[in-house]
Amino acid sequence: MTLLTVNAMSQSLMRTVTFNVYLPSDKVDMTGNLIAKPPYKTLYLLHGIIGDQNDWLVGTRIASIAKHHNLAVVMPAGENQFYLDQPDHMNNYSQFIGKELLDLTRNMLPLSHKREDTYIAGLSMGGFGALHNGLKFHDNFSAIGAFSSGLILEDAVASTDESPVPFQKRSYYKAVFGDLTTLLESDQNPAYQVRQLAKSSAAIPQLYITCGTEDSFLEANNNFVAELKANKVPHTYETWSGGHEWAFWDKSVEKFIDWLGLEDDRSGVASDNING
């Protein structure tokens, strides 16, 4: 397997950032011929709270799954900031994830530049980030995978600083989301983004959403899916037994990649869920 750790200067974040990249570039058949030929379809994969760019490699079979589908995977770090822009602090994570990271990786690696070959997904905080940035940069991504998404905006609005959990304190939410009094009707809210995009002629990415039936985020994900239905936005929503845990996310990312309809070299068959 070809696994790269990249250190690069980000103008959006005004510092050097580190991200991992899996490439199927070393796949050869028994005679030494290259199997996976560039440019590669690419998944930008986001981790959850208190995680980093190594989480998906450690917690799941993502490299093995991507290998079978000739898929490149880019795994950046989100540093507990929900992949949102915070221009007052020069932390423009949204601009980095949705635009700059695509430019960086496409300039240095043999990745496809086509929207239909470019996907974004994530778990928990990263599920929120995938929804927010996939919808915000809908011209860049053709599909979004959101697993156990941390759709916590209602909690943020109602929060106080009395919680013993640092990531549930009002001060933390304000640092990440900004003005909480306007949060629900802002483009930082994926439900608000859905409503606005549904009114436009924008090409909304295909949506694949999962949540475990024992996950505390289940109600929030159900509510978001209800918003999709109300606005007639096509989507796939799957729930099954599981909590907020790596076993669930490992299965989710595998199902998402299968759902994309990419060729699986274990069977030689490509399905037609999205691209045909």
**How high is the pLDDT of residue 194?**
97
Mean pLDDT for back-to-back runs of 10 residues, the chain (276 residues): 94 96 85 83 97 97 95 96 90 97 97 98 98 98 98 97 94 95 97 96 96 98 98 97 98 98 68 40
CATH no. for residue 251?
Answer: 3.40.50.1820
**How high is the pLDDT of residue 32?**
75
- The answer to the question of residue 264 being in a domain is no
**How high is the pLDDT of residue 265?**
77
**How high is the pLDDT of residue 154?**
96
- The answer to the question of residue 274 being in a domain is no
Could you give the residue ranges of the DSSP H alpha helices within the chain? Answer: 55-59, 62-68, 93-95, 101-108, 125-136, 153-158, 170-177, 190-198, 218-230, 246-259
**How high is the pLDDT of residue 112?**
98
- The answer to the question of residue 275 being in a domain is no
Domain total of the chain:
1
Strand order in the sheet with 15-23: 2-10, 15-23, 71-75, 41-46, 118-123, 143-147, 206-212, 236-240
- The answer to the question of residue 271 being in a domain is no
- The answer to the question of residue 267 being in a domain is no
- The answer to the question of residue 108 being in a domain is yes
- The answer to the question of residue 273 being in a domain is no
What is the residue range of 136's domain?
A: 2-259
**How high is the pLDDT of residue 114?**
98
**How high is the pLDDT of residue 90?**
83
- The answer to the question of residue 270 being in a domain is no
